[in-house]
Amino acid sequence: MSQVLLIKVFGFFIASLGIVWVSRSSLRDPQSHGFYRFFVWEGGFH
């Protein structure tokens, strides 16, 4: 695995953890606006 790819994967993982932390209350409630916003943000990182 190249070093650049490893850095990208690590960055994605760290960013995902941050988004999960910020969205943790919304992720518990699928009826909330934040539940769907989480998946949109995750999709934006690809």
Do the Cβ atoms of 27 and 20 come closer than 8 Å? yes
Contact 15, 7 (CB under 8 A): no
Amino acid in the structure at residue 3: Q
Q: Which residue has the higher pLDDT, 45 or 38?
A: 38
pTM: 0.64
Residue pLDDT, tens place only, 9-28: 999 899 889 888 988 888 88
Cβ–Cβ under 8 Å, residues 23 and 34: yes
pLDDT band of residue 32 (cuts 50, 70, 90) is confident
